[in-house]
Amino acid sequence: MPVIKILPHAEYCPEGKTISAEPGTSICEALLANHVDIEHACDQVCACTTCHVIVREGGRSLSEMEEDEEDMLDRAWGLEPDSRLSCQALLRQQDVTVEIPKYSINHAKEGK
């Protein structure tokens, strides 16, 4: 089972975290299932960029980026070459390391 290493993020995961998830699971689903409450304003349908992550290691092992994700990513805050929408990046067999950006385009958060 692949492992996701989440780098420390002051709000969502202050000390970082390592979790496991089944292949075929999106990074967003895996984080949420393991109490890393990453934003996902569009309910994981690739209609916003609030679940944006930067894949620091293992990016080639994720599912291919489709055109709608690529188009949506252009709107993400802090876009980098290894950026993905965590709701669209599906795990395969290899481990990945992700960083949750400090900011998102969301002006208000539910439950906060």
Residue type, 17: K
Average pLDDT over residues 71-80: 92
Strand order in the sheet with 17-20: 17-20, 3-6, 96-99, 52-57, 83-85
Rg, C-alpha atoms of the chain: 13
Residue type, 51: C
C-beta atoms surrounding 28 within 10 Å? 22
CB 46 within 8 A of CB 68: yes
Instruction: Give yes or no for residue 105 having a pLDDT over 70.
Output: no
Whether the pTM exceeds 0.75: the reply is yes
Instruction: Give yes or no for residue 79 having a pLDDT over 90.
Output: yes
